[in-house]
Chains A and B, each alone.
Chain A
Amino acid sequence: MLEVAGLSAGYQGSDVVHDVSFHVEEGETVMIIGSNGAGKTTLFRAITGLLAKSSGVVTFMGIDISALPAQHIVRTGLGFVPAERHLFPRMTVEENLALGAYPERPDPTTLRVVLDLFRRLEERRRQLAGTLSGGEQQMLAVGRALMGKPRLLVLDEPTTGLSPKLAQEAYRALDVLRGEGLTILVAEQQVPLALAISDRGYVLENGVTLLDGTSKELAADPRVRAAYLGVA
């Protein structure tokens, strides 16, 4: 479904990720794990078109999206929830969700699904997005992406700034979406959470992929255990 081949990207001429290749198949949940500064955000921003790539090819659903700007990529069915969320703070929850469906009119069935998944958003429909708590903003960011009916949902560190309890809640919601057959690609530092819902994963360090394998294999790998799971 998503095929990334030899991707390099960075800022001001100096690459942060180097020659990264990976793929996501339909229906899978794939995680990219790595510590802070490993290049996860740069990688995702390059795939979703927010950042120019210095080389490499990204194919999504058989279309080469390498050169497309972000606003076109999202319309091919690739929804992105960045770590910074990029919500519209002076608009209501409802308006933020409606914009997720742009340029279409928001689909009432999808809206129902989103509000059922995130009950808190239902209660706060008329509240300005900027007044929501961190957890609610994360829900809104995911909800807004879902309103565009993505085939693949890409999330960059969905637990950023959330308490452990809220982080678990966020992953419960992702697990529900995965159960409904949505393909998910998630970058995460909090590896135990991501491991619990992923089928496969890649370990990214210093901008290159060090390891890859099924979640079981990764969980058993001594390097992963030492670096990310706190097991010596």
Chain B
Amino acid sequence: MTASILDGIVLGLQFGVLATGLTLVYGLGGVLNLAYGQMSVISAMVVVLATDAGVSLVPAIGLGLLAGALLGLLLDVTILRPVYRLQGEARVLLSLLLSLGVAFIVDGFLNWRLPLESLNIRVGGEAVTILGVRMRMGSLVASGITLLVLAVLFYLFRYTRLGRAIRSVIENEQGARLVGIDPHRMLRIILVLSGILAAIVAVTRSMVAPVSVRAGFSITVLALIATVVGGLGSISGAFLAGLILGIVNSIAASYIGTFLSLIILLVAAALTILIRPAGLLGVRE
């Protein structure tokens, strides 16, 4: 049991980072990015191709993060342009359809060109015993990086002017404009940030288990579940939900079976939404 919980925390921290990226974009711009998992996979493949070409690991990871950032920017200046002209539900719906289209195209392309690739970063070192459970070094490094990312995000949103400006757009877009904040500029920054987060998760995930070229949709679905459970637009909610779902997933996988764990996650998500329609920490408008 302890082993499952610890594994769940390792996984859940990553869900949390994933969901944060998705929820920020939604909260800020009413854009639901269903190509999110593919952004993660493309970044992973950039790392794979770079290391295959002889680039050493750390710079290759740097290239992967850069790819994530550029993908966020690319979405902003291409397919999201018609989305920005709409408001409210029409905006969410169009963003969802267009990004789903992008996801299919990316998936098709990757499966054609790199059908067998996967990113698998091996972290050396002895396993460490925590609470009587032997934890692999890869899991610990992955969790350490994830915690660091979360600390940076927390600092950014709580204490910096930029972070406050981003939150103000989520809270009241017109109010933000009235103090001189350009909502679209903030959304562009957040899309780039979400691309970087997607890339970071690809890297940390690959330290625990291989990230295959086909992982895109399952990453999107996991991020989406954590986002909805946490409350769309709530950063701390997304993180909390990610952590809980990671633990649920890992316990379900080891006691019931991996094949059922996604169904159990969905049931857990559905129950949360029934009890708290706005999500764990969401606030109803």
Contact = CB atoms under 8 A, between A and B. Distances in A.
Contacts, number: 73
Contacts of A132: none
B165 interface: yes
A71 interface: yes
Contacts of A100: 179
Contact of A88 (B161, B172, B182): B172
Contacts of A85: 175
A95 B178 contact: no
Nearest to B165: A102
B180 interface: yes
A158 interface: no
A112 to B, nearest CB: 19
A1 interface: no
B177 A88 contact: no
Contacts of A88: 167-168, 171-172, 175-176
B180 A103 contact: yes
A71 B182 contact: yes
Interface string A22-47: 00000000000000000000000000
A50 B174 contact: yes
Given A88-B167, A88-B171, A90-B171, A82 B161 contact: no
Interface residues of A, number: 29
A222 interface: no
Q: Is the interface of B mostly helix, strand, loop or mixed?
A: helix
Nearest to B174: A86
Given A87-B172, A87-B175, A102-B161, A75 B167 contact: no
A191 to B, nearest CB: 26
Given A75-B180, A103-B180, A148-B180, A91 B167 contact: yes
B181 interface: yes
Given A95-B164, A98-B164, A99-B165, A148 B179 contact: yes
Interface string B200-220: 000000000000000000000
B283 interface: yes
Q: Is the interface of A mostly helix, strand, loop or mixed?
A: loop
Contacts of A89: 171-172
A69 interface: yes
A74 interface: yes
B171 A103 contact: no
A165 interface: no
B167 A74 contact: no
B171 A91 contact: yes
A105 B161 contact: yes
Interface in B72-98: none
A102 B180 contact: yes
Interface string B148-184: 0000000000000100110110011011111111110
A204 B72 CA distance: 48
A11 to B, nearest CB: 13
A69 B185 CA distance: 13
A144 B171 contact: no
A180 B181 CA distance: 28
Contacts of B174: 50, 70, 82, 84, 86
Contacts of B167: 88, 90-91
Interface string A62-74: 0000000111101
Task: List 9 A-B pairs, minimum CB-CB distance, nearest first.
Answer: A86-B175, A70-B177, A88-B171, A71-B177, A74-B180, A71-B182, A86-B174, A75-B180, A88-B168
15 contacts: A50-B174, A69-B177, A71-B176, A71-B182, A80-B178, A86-B172, A86-B174, A91-B171, A99-B176, A102-B164, A102-B179, A102-B180, A103-B161, A145-B178, A148-B179
Given A49-B177, A74-B178, 13 more contacts: A48-B178, A50-B177, A70-B177, A71-B178, A75-B180, A86-B175, A87-B175, A88-B176, A91-B168, A98-B164, A99-B165, A100-B179, A102-B161
